Amino acid sequence: MQTGKINVQTENIFPIIKKFLYSDHEIFLRELISNAVDATTKLKTLASMGKFQDDLGDTTIEVSIDSKKKTLTVKDHGIGMTADEVEKYINQIAFSGAEEFLKKYKGKTEVEQSGLIGHFGLGFYSSFMVADKVEIRTKTYKKGAGTKAVRWECDGSPEYKLEEIEKTDRGTEIVLHVSGDSKEFLEEYRILELLKKYCKFLPIPIRFGNEKTWEPSETEKDDKGEPKQVEVEKPRIINNTNPLWKQMPSGLTDEDYKKFYRELYPNTFEEPLFNIHLNVDYPFNLTGILFFPKVKRNYEIQRDKIQLYCNQVFVTDSVEGIVPDFLTLLHGVLDSPDIPLNVSRSYLQSDQNVKKISGHIMKKVADRLEEIFKNNREEFEKKWDDIKIFIEYGMISEPKFYERAEKFTLLKDTEGKYFTFEEYRKHIKATQTDKEKNLIYLYTTNIEEQHSFINAAKSRGYSVLVMDTPLDGHFINALEQKFEKSQFTRVDADVVDKLIKKEEQLPSKLTEDQQKELTTVFEGLVEKSKFHVVFESLSESDLPVLITQPEFMRRMKDMSAMGGGYDFMGSMPDNYNLVVNPNHRLVGRLAETSEEESRNKLAKQLIDLALLSQNLLKGSELTSFIQRSVDIIQ
């Protein structure tokens, strides 16, 4: 038996490993199984090259727990190690990396978030985050002198033991003697959870105990003569070793993609709208499948649905900084060996490979959307309402995506018809150009609540767009900056004849004195700080009183609710215009009524009707309105 001291001049490395290298100790299992996969893959490569000619046998990696001995074991049937290789790879290389790590990062707070184990060859030593003692039992695939099986042991101090042992099968066993404060890793459910999280798609089969399942019996029959279903115990294989993203798209069907989506998200019941299969090998390596989910209208976005892998090893489901922010609304998988396995978020955001990959993903998403639009516009229009928020978000946040997306982005009107930007521009140019030659885009944020205003606009021959997503306030701002001589105005921002200012204007049927007198009446019945009374000459068929809210004020308040630099607007009180139509016969009757109580009662009824149309009449005011209406009817 050989004993020795691991060469660490600075200080005992193990407390540093336990305290700093990972904020999440569960990563140790990923590191150990990744090493086992590497060892097995190397042996398979040697066999394919003819440098290993024995039978490969079963190469399944086995994970097991012994709750009595308080051990967790990861066993592979890969290349194994000789005593010299254990000395080289376990005692020397890892700790020369540790020395460099300590010199560079000791005492810095960034260490806790950096997760640099893999970069410095310390993956194996992450096991000491959860173990008081670690054993390695290994036998090399090589033949001849110096190839006997060996056992290495270390209890978390710089001392280790290395001795020859009897071991007949090739490969390596890592045995962790789990510490008292990490006993959760001796629970079957916890290890199963971690294996499914980190190892679900590794290329080598991973077994964790057995599982019971039902299968047709080879000997027993039921009453109908069919094979009887019997319960059998089978090895529990954790992973799909050939996931869909590693396969060629040409050989896959829509059903294959849907099945894989259900494999990724077993608790999701909705199917994705469509997908993008990524397969790039130059100038970087990137594979993956991205799915377009139905984005909820309430904007409850889950940003942890894209899973990032490095050679099929799960890295993270927090991909901000790796893909453009708007693409985090997608679901799916990205796999690239060019994205470092263990690096800080700030490093990812400045890494040139990551930036190239990010740009490429955005391009492929735009390509796919444009392809669907061009080849099957009808299908694209059916999906539009479900992908609208996603595309708007991309156009607002990424100028390069805007340049691509303006070709296939759609605008929908209240009739349910869809237009590209250019198509809609031509559609409204003749009717919705104002006297200053500006093109006015009218829109509604709620068809039901703004129905009367929409009808008034349609009666003038105007078209009204539906802009009812939470992002539309910001999106409209972005479009106004891009479109030349154009303006967006909500359909209830003003009376219909002033939404699009033309040369002609209707005369008023009331004298100036009558209007002044009625202004005093209306002002006496509303909060002056909240409502500004104005007279606008409309047609006799328009409503007698309307409530409008100036476009700028309302839009800024809407945007403040979504964030984006307008927070100060959210605290400002709402302000409205109370617009009186002097050409309506009820307003004419009001001007002719000299009895104060009757005049105030009629004016109040007209005001409340206008408030009711905007959903602004509530509480005691609504109760009074209902009682007054009954009195008038009687």
291 touches 328 (CB < 8 A): no
Tell me what pLDDT residue 342 has.
Answer: 53
pLDDT of residue 499: 87
Pick 196 or 120 by higher pLDDT.
196
pLDDT at 430: 92
User: Hey, is 442 helix, strand or coil?
Assistant: strand
Q: Which residue has the higher pLDDT, 2 or 73?
A: 73
| Least confidently predicted of 37-51, 232-246, 530-544, 554-568 | 554-568
- Which fold, 509-547+574-634? Four Helix Bundle (Hemerythrin (Met), subunit A) (1.20.120)
State the DSSP string of 71-110.
EEEEE--S----HHHHIIIIIIIHHHHHHHHHHHHTT-TH
Q: What are phi and psi of 341, to 5 degrees?
A: -70, -40
Which residues are within 8 A (CB) of 226 and not within 5 positions of it... i.e. 6 or more apart?
A: 216
Length of the chain: 634
Interatomic CA distance for residues 196 and 218, integer angstroms? 31
**Residues 284-322 pLDDT 10s:** 788 999 999 887 655 555 566 888 888 888 888 877 777
Backbone angles phi, psi at 116, to 5 degrees: -100, 20
Contact 203, 312 (CB under 8 A): yes
Alpha carbon distance 178, 129 (integer Å): 9
3-state SS, residue 351: coil
Q: Where are the domains of the chain?
A: 2-208, 244-380, 509-547+574-634
Report for 47-56, 74-83, 148-157, 594-603: range of highest mean pLDDT: 74-83
115 vs 294, residue with greater confidence: 294
The tens digit of pLDDT for each residue in 402-439 reads 999 999 999 999 999 999 999 999 999 999 999 889 99
Q: Biggest alpha carbon distance in the chain?
A: 120
Token digits of residue 13: 């490395």
Displacement of CA 471 from its chain's centroid (Å): 15
Question: CB under 8 Å to 466, separation ≥6 — which residues?
Answer: 412, 413, 414, 443, 444, 447
pLDDT given for residue 404 in this prediction: 94
Work out the average pLDDT over 99-113: 47
Tell me the average pLDDT across 592-605.
Answer: 91
Under a CB-based contact definition with an 8 Å cutoff, are residues 285 and 338 in contact?
A: yes
pLDDT (0 to 100) of residue 118? 42
Q: Rounded CA gap, 339 and 326, in Å?
A: 20
Residue range 557-569: mean pLDDT, rounded = 59
Helices 377-397 and 472-482 cross at an angle (nearest 10°) of 80
User: What average pLDDT does the structure give for the chain?
Assistant: 85
And the tokens for 581?
A: 């139509």
Task: Name the residue with higher pLDDT: 46 or 342.
Answer: 46
Determine the Cα–Cα distance for residues 134 and 179; give it in Å rounded to an integer: 11
- Once rounded to an integer, what is the mean pLDDT over residues 383-404? 92
Taking each helix axis from N to C end, the angle separating 585-592 and 596-613, rounded to the nearest 10 degrees, works out to: 150
Strand ranges across the sheet with 131-139: 2-5, 159-164, 150-154, 131-139, 171-178, 71-75, 61-66, 206-221, 227-237
Residue ranges of E strands in 270-422: 274-280, 286-292, 306-310, 313-316, 331-335, 410-412, 418-420
Q: Does pLDDT of 36 surpass 60? A: yes
* pLDDT for position 6: 57
| Domain 244-380 sits in CATH 3.40.50.2000 | no
Rounded Cα distance, 464 and 466, in Å:
7
DSSP lists the bridge partners of residue 307 as 333
| Mean pLDDT of all residues in 254-283 | 88
Q: What is the mean pLDDT of residues 339-352?
A: 58
Domain 2-208 has CATH 3.40.50.2300: no
HEC profile for 245-299?
HHCCHHHCCHHHHHHHHHHHCCCCCCCCCEEEEEEECCCCCEEEEEEECCCCCCC
Neighbours of 163 (CB within 10 A): 13
Confidence at residue 633, expressed as pLDDT on a 0 to 100 scale: 85
Rounded mean pLDDT, 387-406: 92
* Amino acid 347: pLDDT: 55
Q: For the segment 159-172, what is each residue's pLDDT rounded down to a tens digit?
A: 889 999 999 999 99
Residue 117 pLDDT level (bands cut at 50, 70, 90): very low
Span 131-155, pLDDT tens digits: 999 999 999 999 988 899 999 999 8
Structure tokens, 453: 């205003």
What pLDDT sits at residue 337? Answer: 81
Of 333, 299, 297, whose CA–CA distance to 316 is shortest?
Answer: 333
Q: What is the pLDDT of residues 609-624, one digit of tens each?
A: 999 988 888 999 999 9
Q: What percent of the chain has pLDDT over 70?
A: 85
The pLDDT of residue 562 is: 60
- Confidence band, pLDDT 50/70/90 cuts, at residue 112: very low
CA gap 105, 148 in Å, rounded: 39
pLDDT at residue number 120: 43
Q: In the predicted model, is pLDDT for residue 22 greater than 60?
A: no
Contact predicate 265/331, CB 8 Å: yes
Q: In whole angstroms, what is the distance from residue 182 CA to residue 133 CA? A: 13
Three-class secondary structure of residue 632 per DSSP: helix
For residue 457, what are its two tokens? 């606009």
Question: Edge-to-edge, what's the strand order for the sheet holding 464-466?
Answer: 464-466, 439-444, 486-490
Beta strands 286-292 and 274-280, pairing class: antiparallel
The predicted model scores a pTM of 0.76
